Copies of this chain bind each other. A is one copy, B any other.
Amino acid sequence: MTATTDAVLAGLDDATCDELAGLYRDLHRHPELSFQEERTAGVAADRLRAAGFEVRTGVGGTGVVGVLRNGDGPAVVLRADMDGLPVAEATGLPYASTATTQDAEGRRVPLMHACGHDVHVTCLAGAAAALAAGRERWRGTLVAVFQPAEEVAGGARAMVDDGLLDLIGRPDVVLGQHVFPRPAGKVLVSPGEVMAAADSLEIRLYGRGGHGSQPEHTVDPVVLAAATVMRLQTVVSREVSPFERAVLTVAQIHAGHKENVIADEASITVNLRSFSPEVRRRLLDGVERVVRAEAAASGAPRPPELRTLNSFPLTVNDPGAAAVVRQAFTARFGAERVTDLAPLMGSEDFGVIGAEAGAPSVFWGLGCADPETYERAVREDRLAEDVPGNHSPAFAPVISPTLRMGAEALVTAALAWLTPGDPA
């Protein structure tokens, strides 16, 4: 298969990669929030059509599905996610985003591709084009899925609910990748657990508002929220075994419109990460127990309300399929560029597609940090400071060799399943 792969990848030449770099900069300048990826989806659909795919748009909102039927043979799904984040970009890059949007409450929020989904879209566009261009070298069916709303754990589910499986049938494998702050030029893949399960809750804490000068007539929701946040720290520090991996993050806290008016309520969001149902349950139970008791400690007029915002399943690589991918990567890139992917506390809804389609799935990591910066940071023990990670306002994948490597990884992994063709 290596020869086939080499031949197909010959199409990803320097000129093509320069063109992909232009696409990437354009996408990076135009991040869109989850389920609002209209522009990104349009770009993806145009690319697929130009490459000869049958294209369906609007799948699960803004999702795009391209199918290239190329004779008998296995079916391979390649998936990329498309959404950006409400983060104010602080990379200082010439192509940095200055985009903003409004959230549901009318707040103007900044936008940034702070999780690298623009890399994912670019690489899949490049891989789809390369595989289409080299279609005489393989047989089978290639499906490109551009998925919305990964960040809210809703996009994969929405596409499935909107008929994705009717379009893709039961593929032989579902493949996806994600950029991580590891050296560009490397791929990371392992069998088993890849990413954590995640649950996010929105919690409304009710007080009783009043004049800022008369706290004795109120139930102060800011104090209630603050006490709750401090108490929630103990769920991880005291209630979960140190041998378990668990995170509880309160990433949002909001109360009050005016400095002299005590508000009626406060809201917080809680983000939980776990790798087992038992730990997940312990975290959820701990949150609920603490939240209800702190409201009682404040003498709250109403109990708090907890609402699930989203739930990500565990992401688990099929061991056999992961071994196939790793072997293909090693053959193409050399062993020194293929490393293990240790489990991450981050979460994904990638696994939903394979689970629903009854197909094995493999999710690998793609290094995107400047290798020299990375190595120096490791030496100086400054990784956290000098190599900003996903969701940081300073997250900045290097364009080369990240884009080429990502596109090549998709092609290489896909061809590990597809039947070699018979080029004239």
Interface residues of A (CB under 8 A from B): 85-88, 102-103, 105-110, 114, 151, 196, 198, 200, 202, 209-218, 220, 222-223, 225-231, 233-243, 245-264, 266, 268-271, 273, 289-290, 292-294, 296-299, 309-310, 342-347, 384, 388-393
Q: How far is the CA of A393 from the CA of B343 in the complex (A)?
A: 38
Interchain CB contact under 8 A, B229 and A250: no
Residues of B within 8 A of A228 (CB): 226
Interchain CB contact under 8 A, B213 and A347: yes
Interchain CB contact under 8 A, A260 and B253: no
Residues of B within 8 A of A246 (CB): 242
Interchain CB contact under 8 A, A258 and B223: no
Q: List 22 A-B contacts (CB under 8 A).
A: A86-B258, A106-B107, A106-B108, A198-B213, A209-B393, A212-B251, A213-B344, A213-B345, A215-B237, A216-B239, A216-B240, A216-B241, A223-B234, A223-B238, A226-B227, A226-B229, A242-B245, A243-B245, A252-B259, A253-B256, A289-B297, A292-B296
A99 to chain B, nearest CB (A): 14
In the complex, besides A87-B261, A254-B255, A289-B297, 16 extra interface pairs with C-beta distance below 8 angstroms are A103-B257, A110-B257, A209-B391, A210-B391, A210-B392, A211-B392, A212-B249, A220-B238, A220-B249, A223-B238, A225-B226, A227-B231, A242-B245, A243-B245, A249-B262, A293-B296
Q: How far is the CA of A241 from the CA of B86 in the complex (A)?
A: 25
Q: How far is the CA of A250 from the CA of B252 in the complex (A)?
A: 17
Of B214, B237, B242, B251, the contact of A260 (CB 8 Å cutoff): B251
Residues of B within 8 A of A388 (CB): 210
Q: How far is the CA of A121 from the CA of B211 in the complex (A)?
A: 21
Of B87, B239, B345, B393, the contact of A242 (CB 8 Å cutoff): B345
Interchain CB contact under 8 A, B242 and A209: no
Q: How far is the CA of A296 from the CA of B259 in the complex (A)?
A: 25
Residues of B within 8 A of A215 (CB): 237-239, 247, 249
Interchain CB contact under 8 A, A297 and B231: yes
Residues of B within 8 A of A242 (CB): 216, 236, 245-247, 273, 345
A292 to chain B, nearest CB (A): 8
